[in-house]
Amino acid sequence: MLSVLIPTKNEERNIVDCLKSVSWADEIFVFDSYSSDKTVEIVREKGAKVVQREFDNFSTHKNWAIDHIDFKNEWILILDADERLTEALSKEIKLICQKTSSELKGYYIGRQIWFAGTWVRHGGWYPDWQLRLFKRGYAHYESRIVHEHMLVEGPVGFLKNHLVHDDYKGIERYFERHNTYSSMEAVEIYKTLIKQKKSTDDKLMPTLFTRGPEQRRFLKNLAYRYLPARPLFKFVWMYFIKLGFLDGRIGFRFALLKAFYEYQISLKLEELNDPESPLYKKYKHYLSS
75-99 pLDDT, tens digit each:
999 999 999 999 999 999 999 999 8
CA-CA distance, 59 to 47, in Å (whole number)? 27
6-16 pLDDT, tens digit each:
999 999 999 99
CB atoms within 10 A of CB 113: 21
pLDDT given at position 196: 67
CA-CA distance, 227 to 286, in Å (whole number)? 25
Contacts of residue 244, defined as CB under 8 A and 6 or more positions apart, other chains included, come to 120, 122, 123, 124, 238, 251, 252, 254, 255
CA-CA distance, 233 to 241, in Å (whole number)? 10
pLDDT given at position 198: 52
75 bridge partner residues: 2, 135
CA-CA distance, 13 to 169, in Å (whole number)? 7
Q: How far apart are the first and last CA of the chain?
A: 39
Return the higher-pLDDT residue of 212 and 238: 238
108-162 pLDDT, tens digit each:
999 999 999 999 999 999 999 999 999 999 999 999 999 999 999 999 999 999 9
CA-CA distance, 194 to 36, in Å (whole number)? 38
